[in-house]
Structure 1
Amino acid sequence: MSSHVPELPDTVEAWLSFIESLHPKSIEMGLSRVQAVAARLHLKFPFTVITVGGTNGKGSTCAMLEGIYATAGYRVGCYTSPHLVQYQERVRLNGELIADDVLCAAFTAVEKAREDISLTYFEMGTLAALWAFEQQPLDVVILEVGLGGRLDAVNIVDADCAIVTNVDLDHMEFLGDTRELIGHEKAGIYRKHQIAICGDVQPPISLLNYAESLGVPLKRYGVDYRMDLADTQYSDAHGSLAIGSLPLFGDYQWQNAANVIYAVRALQSKLPVTDDDLRQGLTSTKVVGRFQYWHRSPDVILDVAHNPHAARALRSNLQQLSADGCKVVAVFSMLSDKDIAGVVDILHDVIDEWEIAPIQHPRAASVDYLKQCLSHKVSDQQLKTHPDLPTALRSCYKKAAKNDKIIVFGSFFTVAAILEITPDQWTSSS
Structure 2
Amino acid sequence: MDFARSSHPGVQAQLDRLGLLSVPDGRFGLETITTLLDRLGNPHRQLPPTFHVAGTNGKGSVCAFLRAMLEADGKRVHVTTSPHLVRYNERILLAGRLIEDEPLAALLEEVLDASEELAPSFFEVTIAAAFLAFSRTPADACVVEVGLGGRFDATNVLQSDVLAACGIAALGIDHERFLLAPEDGVPKDPMARIAFEKAGIAKKGIPLVTGFQQAGPALEIERAILRSEATLKMRGREWHASMDDAGLHYADFGGALDLPQPSMPGGHQIDNAALAVAMLRHQEALSVSPEAMAQGLRAAHWPARMQRLKPGPLTGDRAVWLDGGHNPSAGATIAAFFEGPVHLVLGMLDNKDPQALIAPLGDRIRSLTVVPVPGHDSHPVEAFGPDAKAVDTIEEALLGIPADDYPILIAGSLYLAGEVLRLNDGIPN
What's the TM-score once normalised by structure 2's chain length? 0.88
Q: 1:230-245 residue pairs with structure 2 within 5 A?
A: 230=244, 231=246, 232-245=248-261
2:408 is the alignment partner of 1:392: no
Q: Give the letter for the 2:171 counterpart.
A: V
- Decide whether the 8 Å contact of 1:225 with 1:234 is kept in 2: yes
Between the aligned partners of 1:79 and 1:135, the Cα distance in structure 2 is 15
Equivalence for 2:120: 119
Matched residue SS, 2:356: helix
Q: Taking CA–CA contacts closer than 8 Å with sequence separation of 6 or more, which of the two structures ends up with the larger relative contact order?
A: 2
2:272 is the alignment partner of 1:272: no
2:86 is the alignment partner of 1:85: yes
Bigger mean CA offset, 122-131 vs 225-234: 225-234
Between the aligned partners of 1:414 and 1:46, the Cα distance in structure 2 is 33
Between the aligned partners of 1:423 and 1:136, the Cα distance in structure 2 is 30
Shift of residue 12 of structure 1? 1.4
Cα distance 1:27–1:20, how it changes in 2: closer, same or farther (>3 A)?
farther
Q: Give the letter for the 1:124 counterpart.
A: V
Equivalence for 2:180: 176
Equivalence for 1:250: 266
Equivalence for 1:212: 226
Shift of residue 226 of structure 1? 1.9
2:198 is the alignment partner of 1:186: yes
Which residue among 321, 336, 354 is the counterpart of 1:301?
321
Shift of residue 86 of structure 1? 0.7
Tell me the percent identity. Answer: 30
Q: Give the letter for the 1:301 counterpart.
A: W
Q: Give the letter for the 1:199 counterpart.
A: G
2:185 is the alignment partner of 1:165: no
Q: Deviations over 1:337-389 (max 9, x none)?
A: 1122233222222322111111123332223xxx33334xxxx3xx3221122
Which residue among 367, 372, 392 is the counterpart of 2:383?
372
Bigger mean CA offset, 328-337 vs 242-251: 242-251
2:390 is the alignment partner of 1:352: no
Q: Give the letter for the 1:90 counterpart.
A: R
- Decide whether the 8 Å contact of 1:26 with 1:121 is kept in 2: no
Shift of residue 10 of structure 1? 6.0
2:211 is the alignment partner of 1:199: yes
2:335 is the alignment partner of 1:290: no
Q: 1:299-338 residue pairs with structure 2 within 5 A?
A: 299-319=319-339, 322=340, 327-338=341-352
Q: Give the letter for the 1:167 counterpart.
A: L
Bigger mean CA offset, 128-137 vs 21-30: 21-30
- Decide whether the 8 Å contact of 2:204 with 2:230 is kept in 1: yes
Matched residue SS, 1:364: coil
Equivalence for 1:419: 421
Shift of residue 72 of structure 1? 0.9
- Decide whether the 8 Å contact of 1:67 with 1:281 is kept in 2: yes
- Decide whether the 8 Å contact of 1:192 with 1:215 is kept in 2: yes
Between the aligned partners of 1:27 and 1:18, the Cα distance in structure 2 is 22
Question: When the two structures are aligned, how many residues end up with a matched partner?
Answer: 397
Shift of residue 28 of structure 1? 4.5
Q: Give the letter for the 1:332 counterpart.
A: L
Q: Deviations over 1:250-290 (max 9, x none)?
A: 111111111111111122x3211111111101110011111
Shift of residue 73 of structure 1? 1.2
Q: Deviations over 1:38-92 (max 9, x none)?
A: 0111122331111110000011111111111111111110000001111111111
Between the aligned partners of 1:190 and 1:56, the Cα distance in structure 2 is 18
2:39 is the alignment partner of 1:40: yes
Matched residue SS, 1:352: strand
- Decide whether the 8 Å contact of 2:322 with 2:411 is kept in 1: yes
Q: Give the letter for the 2:178 counterpart.
A: F
What's the TM-score once normalised by structure 1's chain length? 0.88
- Decide whether the 8 Å contact of 1:80 with 1:90 is kept in 2: yes
- Decide whether the 8 Å contact of 1:298 with 1:404 is kept in 2: no
Q: Deviations over 1:190-214 (max 9, x none)?
A: 1010010111111513222111222
Equivalence for 2:20: 21
Bigger mean CA offset, 32-41 vs 204-213: 204-213
Shift of residue 112 of structure 1? 2.8
Q: Give the letter for the 2:179 counterpart.
A: L
Between the aligned partners of 1:40 and 1:69, the Cα distance in structure 2 is 32
Q: Which runs of 5 or more structure 1 residues have no equivalent in the other structure?
A: 1-8, 425-430
Q: Deviations over 1:85-141 (max 9, x none)?
A: 111111111221111112112212212322321111111111001101111011111
Between the aligned partners of 1:289 and 1:80, the Cα distance in structure 2 is 13
2:376 is the alignment partner of 1:362: yes
Q: Deviations over 1:376-427 (max 9, x none)?
A: xxxx3xx32211222112322xx222x3200010110121221121379xxx
Shift of residue 24 of structure 1? 5.7
Q: Give the letter for the 1:363 counterpart.
A: D
- Decide whether the 8 Å contact of 1:162 with 1:196 is kept in 2: yes
Shift of residue 165 of structure 1? 0.4
Bigger mean CA offset, 162-171 vs 201-210: 201-210
Matched residue SS, 1:173: helix
Cα distance 1:26–1:423, how it changes in 2: closer, same or farther (>3 A)?
farther
